[in-house]
Amino acid sequence: MVSVNDLGLKADRLAVIDMHTAGEPVRIFDATPLNVAGETILQKRRNMGDRFDHLRRAMMLEPRGHADMYGAILVPPNDPAYDAAVLFTHNSGYSTMCGHATVALGRFLYDQARQQGRTQTRFTLECPCGPVAIEVSPDSDPAAAPMVRFESVESFALALDDSIELSGFGRVQFDVGYGGAFYAILPSARLGLDFHQTPLDQLVDAAGKLVAELRATRSVRHPAEPDLSFLYGAILTDGDRLTPGQLTHNLCWFGEAQIDRSPTGSGVSARLAVAHAKGEIAPGAALPFAGASGQAFDGAVARPTERGIIAAVSGRAYYMARSELILEAQDPFAHGFALPARFGDYLA
C-alpha cells in the first residue's frame, strides 16, 4: 500500500480523531499549532471564525464531513487551572456548549492521561459558556467505555409558558431554557404532532419553522455575556412533564437545521432547568433522556443555584477512527461545500 506521504501531494493535512456519543459524531482536532489568538475562550472563538473558518468548513462540510457533522477544536486554555479548552463547531459555525462532545472529550482526556502514566479521572474543561467539570468512572470491564459525567455551567429557565403565533400551527406555547446555549422547549403535541408516530421529517420541519420565527421576532439575552445571547435551537419532547426515573425522549434541532442524534447534553441541562423552575424535579432526582438514536444520557439536578440549577449529565463515548484529512491545493472542495437548496443557486 502506498503511503499518503509518498504521493508528493501539495496539500494541507489535518490530523483528527473521530468519536461518537449516543450516535452523534465528534471530530476532534488539536488546533494548538494554529496559535488561535485571544485572552478569553470567547475571543478565541471569534478569532477561529475570523482566521481559520476554512478549516472548520473542511472538517465539517462535505466531502470530508456531512450536514450533521460536529466537531471539537482543542486550543490551549487561558488559565492553567483548566485541563483543556475547546471550541465546539458544526456545519454552520461555532456553538457555546455541547454535552455529547464534552462526554467524548472526557474519555479522550482520560485516555490521554492513562497513556502518559497518570490515573487522572477529574478534569476541568474551558468552554465558551464557562468551565465544565468532568468526572470519568472506569467500567469494571476494562474493555468497556468509561462512564463520563459532567456538571455544566449554571442552567436556568429564561421564559416559562411563552407563546407565539406560528403559521400553520396557530398559537404555540413554549419555554426557553439555557444549558450553556438557549433552546425553545415544548412537547410536540402543542404543534399537533404525536412525538412517537409523526414522521421524523415532519417533526424536524416544525421545529425549524419555530426556530426561524423566534429568531426573526424575538431575542434572548444572557445575563452576563452578549456572545451567548442567541437562540441555538429547539427541543421537541414527548410529554409535558419530567418524571424522575422515567425515560423521556426529545428531538433537538440546532444551528441551521442540524438534528442531534444524542439526547443533547446542553439540551438536557436546559430541560432540567425548566422542569426545576416548574417544580417538577428536585435536586438529586435523575432520569434517562433519549434522542434520535435511542441511546440515553442520564440527567439530574445536581444542586440549585440563585438563578437556576447545576445539571449533571452522564453518558459514554466511543472511538470510530483516527485519520488525516487531506486538503489538496487545487481541490475546489478543499474547504468543503454544502448541498444547495436548489440547482439555481449555482447560477447566482
Residue 219 covered by a domain: yes
Whether residues 231 and 266 share a domain: the answer is: yes
User: Which member of 98, 127, 129, 252 is catalytic?
Assistant: 98
Residue 282 structural domain: 156-314
- Domain contains 245: yes
> What mean pLDDT, rounded, does the chain reach?
95
When pLDDT is cut at 50, 70 and 90, the band that residue 347 belongs to is confident
Q: Which of the four pLDDT bands, split at 50, 70 and 90, describes residue 2?
A: very low
Residues 135 and 196 in one domain: no
Taking only the tens place, the pLDDT of each residue in 17-49 is 999 999 999 999 999 999 999 999 999 999 999
Residues 163 and 297 in one domain: yes
- Flag whether 335 is in a domain: no
pLDDT > 70? residue 104: yes
Residue 314, all three cell numbers: 452522564
Check whether residue 175 and residue 55 sit in a common domain: no
Establish if 243 belongs to a structural domain.
yes
Number of domains in the chain: 2
**pLDDT reported for residue 6:** 56
- C-alpha cell read off for 215: 429568531
pLDDT at 264 over 80: yes
Is 170 found in the same domain as 101? no
331 part of a folded domain: no
| pLDDT at residue 1, rounded to an integer | 43
pLDDT at 7: 61
Q: What CATH number is given to the structural domain containing 48?
A: 3.10.310.10
- The C-alpha cell at 65 is 464531513
Is residue 27 in a domain? yes
- pLDDT tens per residue, range 236-256: 999 999 999 999 999 999 999
Has residue 340 been placed in a domain?
A: no
Q: What does the pLDDT average to over 162-188?
A: 98
- Residue 162 and residue 276 share a domain: yes
The model's confidence at residue 11, banded by pLDDT at 50, 70 and 90, is confident
Active site residue 98: yes
Judged by average pLDDT, the poorest of 19-23, 95-99, 343-347 is: 343-347
Residues 212 and 127 occupy one common structural domain: no
% of residues, the chain, pLDDT over 70: 97
The answer to whether residues 16 and 146 belong to one domain is: yes
Provide mean pLDDT across the span 90-107: 97
pTM of the model: 0.96
Residues 174 and 295 placed together within one structural domain of the fold: yes
For residues 111 and 229, state if they share a domain: no
* Confidence band of 290 (pLDDT split at 50, 70, 90): very high
Contacts of 253 (CB under 8 A, 6+ apart): 204, 207, 208, 211, 233, 234, 235, 236, 259
Claim to verify: residue 163 and residue 305 sit in the same structural domain: yes
Cα–Cα distance for residue pair 186/164, rounded to 1 Å:
12
186 CB-side CA count, 13 A: 27
**CB contact at 8 A, 84 and 167:** no
* pLDDT tens digits along 191-226: 999 999 999 999 999 999 999 999 999 999 999 999
* Residue 28: per-residue pLDDT: 98
